Structure formats: structure tokens, C-alpha cells
Amino acid sequence: MLLSRLRESELSRQNIVVGAVGQVQQAIRFVESKRLFDDGMWSLREGRPPARDVRLPDTKEFFFAHRNAFRIGVALSAGALFLVLAGWPARSQP
């Protein structure tokens, strides 16, 4: 690949320019990402599995969602209980 050879030639120079090496490395990453993107789009279009099997991280989002739902339920229940004990529904009638 041309970019890999360019990176190696930049790294073998006597006075290395770090910015040039970084730009070449970024271009290599872009080309690889574009290749994977094109393969993924082609696999969606053709209905075949992609060349690279991507494993999504296993997070505990389900646990956090339930915990937050419980916290919201407790807060709403406490607010409703406070309003009922304060007699707020009875005061709204003329």
C-alpha cells in the first residue's frame, strides 16, 4: 500500500517530521475505515454477513435504566404523597 510505504519512508528519515507521520497515519486509518464502511454497505445491500464481525460492548444499560426508573418513580410518588397530605386536591374545587 502506498500510504504504508510513505509512512515507513517518513519514519526512516534522519529528521522526522512528527506532523507528517501523524497525517499519513490518519490517512491510513481513514482508508481502512472507508474500506470497512463500503464492505458493510455492500453486505447490507446483498444480504450477506460483513467481512468483519463487530462485537458491541456488553454494558449494564438495562440495570441503570431500571435504577433510574425506580428513582423517578420514588420521586413522583413522594411528590404526589406530599400534595395529597397537604390537601391540595381538595383546595382546587370552588
pLDDT in tens, 49-82: 887 777 777 777 888 889 999 999 999 999 999 9
How high is the mean pLDDT of the chain? 82
Provide the residue ranges of all domains of the chain, joining segments of one domain with +: 1-54, 56-94
Q: How far apart are CA 64 and CA 34, in angstroms?
A: 34
Residue 14's pLDDT is what?
A: 75
Pair 43, 50: CB distance under 8 Å = yes
Rg (CA), the chain: 29
